[in-house]
Amino acid sequence: MAGKVVTISSGKGGVGKTTATANLGISLASLGKKVVVIDADIGLRNLDVIMGLENRIVYDLVDIVEGRSKLRQSMIKHKKFEDLFLIPAAQTRDKMAVSPQDMVKLTDELREEHDFILIDSPAGIERGFRNALEPADEVLIVTNPEVSAVRDADRITGLIEAAEKGPGRLILNRIKPELVKKGEMLSSDDVVDILGLAIIGIIPEDELVLSASNSGVPVTLNTDSKAGMAFNNVARRLIGEDVPFMNLADDAGFFRRLARLFEGW
Amino acid sequence: MASFLNRLFGRARKGSGATAKNRLHFVLQHDRINLPPERMEEMKREILAVIVKYLVVDQERVEIALEQRDRTHSKLVAEIPFAKEKQQIQMEARPETAGTDAQTAESNGAVKSPLAADEEAAPKDESNDSQDAEPVAEVDEASATAPDADAKDNKKN
Ligand SMILES: Nc1ncnc2c1ncn2[C@@H]1O[C@H](COP(=O)(O)OP(=O)(O)OP(=O)(O)O)[C@@H](O)[C@H]1O
Ligand SMILES: [Mg+2]
């Protein structure tokens, strides 16, 4: 089996990388895929709590890389899904403890027995990002409909392309359809237009994301959550299904769509 | 067509969302070529300073701008129209001596060049006048025909 390595990155911090990684991991697992999620944010371990696995951690990424633990015994199995595993970040080390080559070696081993290896990249464009980028077959770029977040997404888009890992696909997180409708927020069309990237997910702002992180049960497991449904759709697109985008509200507007219709002329 | 529609509907859009989009366009253009806005202005001033050494241009209407289709296709587009004011003065001055023209050009602070001289000497008919606002390439063409027209004009005189 030749699993696929998908890196989730953003440039700007706090836009929803960890949330996306946790939810995609669960969605892919619930679609029957064998999945490993890796927290590459060394020093700021988070993916474990978002997935509700914090109290099961024995070893971490640096232990594996430095040979203190075997890969298999270091992977934490999810409570609900047999085929979903977490490799947590080290909490007390810094990003220099792992090299891009270490990540390639690790993921090459994981590819043999899993369909997807998701890497939660740290914010920024330094070593941690490089570690997450190096083994990637595909990069998902998470951003928010905000000037600074989109700008940073563009910056890493350039770096991803320079590393020949592009083009990345976009996850636009925390969109508020009411605000877009009022013209008070960048729409998904705007962001796609500006960044010139394909979009793989449009995730609405959803209070249930917070309660999910409080309880350590990612929002895709909540059938009432629109964000959860949207993340589920991203997972299905990742495995190649053609899933229409949810109607979050009239996000584009008639005239802009009309204008787009004429774009080819 | 597309740009017309975009402009039409783009302008109609109000609210901070549209502002955000415009600001992002601006910021990203500069980020992508790694040339901050102030440095770009500096470069424009230098380009213009060079051009002015050879041509009498309408400095007010000079436009040097970044054009970007997407992140990997950027270009610098310059529109450098020749001075119109000078030519109007010329038209009035034409019946008199050519000396007046030369003085006008010098008082504009422009360095005289062969091309500028040609232009000054060239008669300004209506079609020529209407091309004043066109990009430099077009005006170039007009001034290329100048010697010919010049000869005709001389015969008439
Ligand atoms: N769709 C959403 N709706 C509401 N809140 C959200 C949504 N997505 C993310 N959040 C909230 O945003 C915050 C940041 O999310 P997250 O930790 O996933 O970002 P990150 O990109 O991993 O941050 P960092 O760069 O620090 O690693 C969290 O509090 C999370 O609950
Ligand atoms: Mg994170």
Tens-digit pLDDT profile for residues B8-35: 555 556 799 999 999 999 999 899 988 9
For residues B30 and B44, state if they share a domain.
no
For residues B40 and B29, state if they share a domain.
no
Distance of CA A135 to the CA centre of its chain: 15
How far is residue A238's CA from residue A199's CA, in Å, rounded to a whole number? 11
> Would you list which residues of chain A are within 8 Å, Cβ to Cβ, of chain B?
145-147, 150-151, 154-155, 157-158, 161, 179-180, 182-187, 190, 193-196, 255-256, 258-259, 262-265
In tens, the pLDDT along A219-253 reads: 999 888 999 999 999 999 999 999 999 887 644 45
Residue A165 phi/psi, 5-degree rounding, is: -115, 5
In this structure, what token pair is assigned to residue A18? Answer: 């960890």
Name residues 26-65 of chain B within 8 A of A (Cβ): 27-28, 31-32
For residues B62 and B25, state if they share a domain.
no
Q: Is the pLDDT higher at B39 or at A259?
A: B39
For residues B8 and B62, state if they share a domain.
no
Number of domains in chain B: 2
Crossing angle between the packed helical segments A226-238 and A17-30, to the nearest 10 degrees? 70
For residues B81 and B148, state if they share a domain.
yes
In this structure, what token pair is assigned to residue A177? Answer: 């359809």
Give the pLDDT band (50/70/90) at residue A115. very high
How far is residue B93's CA from residue A98's CA, in Å, rounded to a whole number? 78
Does residue A144's CB lie within 6 angstroms of at least one atom of ligand 1? no
The DSSP output letter for A138 is E
**Across chain B, what does the average pLDDT equal?**
64
Ligand 1 midpoint to CA A163 (Å): 26
For residues B29 and B71, state if they share a domain.
no
Locate the chain A residue with the closest alpha carbon to B7.
A259
Cβ neighbours of residue A125 closer than 8 Å, sequence gap 6 or more: A11, A155, A156, A159
CA distance, residue A178 to nearest chain B CA (Å): 12
In this structure, what token pair is assigned to residue A82? Answer: 């047999």
For residues B152 and B76, state if they share a domain.
yes
Whose atoms come closest to the Cα of A11: which ligand? 1
Please report the pLDDT score of residue B131 as a whole number.
44
In tens, the pLDDT along A116-148 reads: 999 999 999 999 999 999 999 999 999 999 999
Boundaries of domain holding B149? 35-156
Q: Point out the residue among B2, B16, B70 whose CB comes nearest to the CB of A265.
A: B2
How far is residue B69's CA from residue B19's CA, in Å, rounded to a whole number? 20
What domains, with CATH codes, occur in chain A?
4-261 (3.40.50.300)
For residues B89 and B151, state if they share a domain.
yes
Q: Is the pLDDT higher at A255 or at A1?
A: A1
Give the pLDDT band (50/70/90) at residue B92. low
Please report the pLDDT score of residue B69 as a whole number.
75
Contact at 8 Å (CB) between A120 and A47? yes
Please report the pLDDT score of residue B133 as a whole number.
42
Please report the pLDDT score of residue B83 as a whole number.
84
In this structure, what token pair is assigned to residue B94? Answer: 């034409």
Does residue A19's CB lie within 6 angstroms of at least one atom of ligand 1? yes
* Alpha helices by DSSP H, B34-125: 37-54, 85-93, 98-107, 114-121
B138-B142-B148 Cα angle (round to 5):
155
Please report the pLDDT score of residue B39 as a whole number.
93
For residues B103 and B147, state if they share a domain.
yes
User: What distance, in Å, lies between the first and last C-alpha atoms of chain B?
Assistant: 47
For residues B30 and B90, state if they share a domain.
no
For residues B64 and B45, state if they share a domain.
yes
Least confident of A79-93, B40-54, B141-155: B141-155
> Is the per-residue pLDDT at A188 higher than 90?
yes
**Across chain A, what does the average pLDDT equal?**
92
Please report the pLDDT score of residue B132 as a whole number.
44
* Alpha helices by DSSP H, chain B: 2-12, 16-33, 37-54, 85-93, 98-107, 114-121, 126-130, 136-144, 146-156
Which residue's C-alpha comes closest to atom 2 of ligand 1?
A205
Report, as an integer, the average pLDDT of A178-198.
Answer: 95
Does residue A143's CB lie within 6 angstroms of at least one atom of ligand 1? no
Percent of chain B exceeding pLDDT 70 equals: 45
For residues B71 and B20, state if they share a domain.
no
Please report the pLDDT score of residue B14 as a whole number.
75
How far is residue A167's CA from residue A164's CA, in Å, rounded to a whole number? 8
Please report the pLDDT score of residue A106 as a whole number.
96
